[in-house]
Structure 1
């Protein structure tokens, strides 16, 4: 069964407002969520934390993303003259243009499973009512091009300070530009293509990324890639252009995460499960993730947090030792995870944003993070 984007915690926060008919109708169906969602709106939020000068600069990134997310940017008319190419040549063209001209870091291709297409539109991030909330989504494309961009680990070490939001949206802006340009290039070749970006998205990124070989699903519910660990963001272009699929990732993440738990130990919202076993959630075997707990930290700190991205052993900077660790983890089994996790704790210790100063060009980040606990390890 396809997932309704209106049920996403971000959609509920952005689109539902107390006292409106939409609020009353939604929480009549979901009374268990009303108290939690109302409490989120009482928190400071993104613009309620930090210096106004930095928040206003961040808004410039949002305004760009809203423009990129408009319907006539992410989708549009297809050239009537279809350029015939073999799937191999089309793949070479797409990846070459994305990497060499649009400066994409990682480009992978896989099938588009219709189960990963949202059933209904849930957010109106562009603030243009071109597709009303609740509109059924029909996306018949067969293929998905997934592009990933890595994050700066030196910035992530300070999570969940205010600079995290700035640098994450820098990536979202780059990814939005890349995907809109690439989708338009494919339409110019005579094939339908749609960009899916932060501000206008019809697919669920993680499972689409898994099928394209970007990475594997970690304990946190976020993908882990060979190139970036958890420290990256994605964008997707769906299309009917015939393409060659990449192989799925094989990093040994499943076995490693079962024995690691470092992201869960350091999560300030206790949103990531510490359980040894997975559960079946909406038909998928995965660790339980409490999205409302995660989002509460966002609204308290005025950032996208980022602690799990930073603390994940796979996210550490490239080095000989890191490469050896990746090689061992890919062997699978419990021993690599147990050994490497122990070594990780000895080398890096628990997450501590206080060790890392704010960027000089930004104002000092508020000390909201000091109230959080970053090490829940059970000795």
Structure 2
């Protein structure tokens, strides 16, 4: 049985018909001599408290900007909700949108900077406040693109939750890993690329067997105490490694991690559903999950093979192509056809069902979305409307089709 997450719905402030600054920030800086009408605490003259501040004058409404969606049903079911749902990051006090925007593969690589800006704008105006990147994404270009967009849009830094990940920073021996030197220098490099004074969460992107756990935890505590990050977390760490970090932090009066980034979707369930819940209840470590659509497999676009423009067609993702074309891949496609009937019954798309299914888990603080175009992102954001429909009965139907529900310790006590 899954417990429904304790979360709240908060309307993000929007100002319709209010003042619009369509030349932010460069033209405002040129006019500062004549005085700006912006908020006195905003050096660029941007109006705080509005997601539409500094919006380009020519920007169209969402319906006008996006191409005609496939049909009326699809169009009705993919519109993002006016309200975003917010959850605490683990058991910390940091409030994050239950849907975040990731930048893996896309920013600085698969998509243009213009499309990246469109995606971030749609996400931000839909109430998304969590944006995730990493020093290794596109060789650092993803962080540059992310930072440029934040600066251009004049969004208040205090309204954003920016996270990055450290491990692979360069080719030199000292430019990778989780040693004290790279954690400090790597985070400084990330902040320079993003033109930020701090990130909200810095993640250890892999466990590092070459570095003592105490050194890792001390370095993470140091960057937090220096104001370079607010919190730290882990990514792809085992439950045992996370518990070790927590124990070291408690032993030496250091700061423990608040969350783990983990892969979680229909076909990858064991870690998030059996290992991490115990950490959530005992030490407050939450989950930021990634790849809710299994690298696009759950979208159904690979049903008849690998399209030329898809991620699986790219040379670095030969492993994904092989996975899709395997016997297990074909079995997964058959299950997805059955799951599509549940989505149709709920009045949503299969990707929306998959994302809402991830959020049914109480320990999942946020699900990172990866989108390469505005249509995809808008559809995925529509999963917000499906969360209330994700009842125990629906979850049971999904489990029956998937046939892969892992057994937790709780199951054996009943």
What TM-score comes out, normalization by structure 2 length? 0.22
The answer to which structure, 1 or 2, has the higher relative contact order (CA under 8 A, 6+ apart) is: 1
What TM-score comes out, normalization by structure 1 length? 0.24
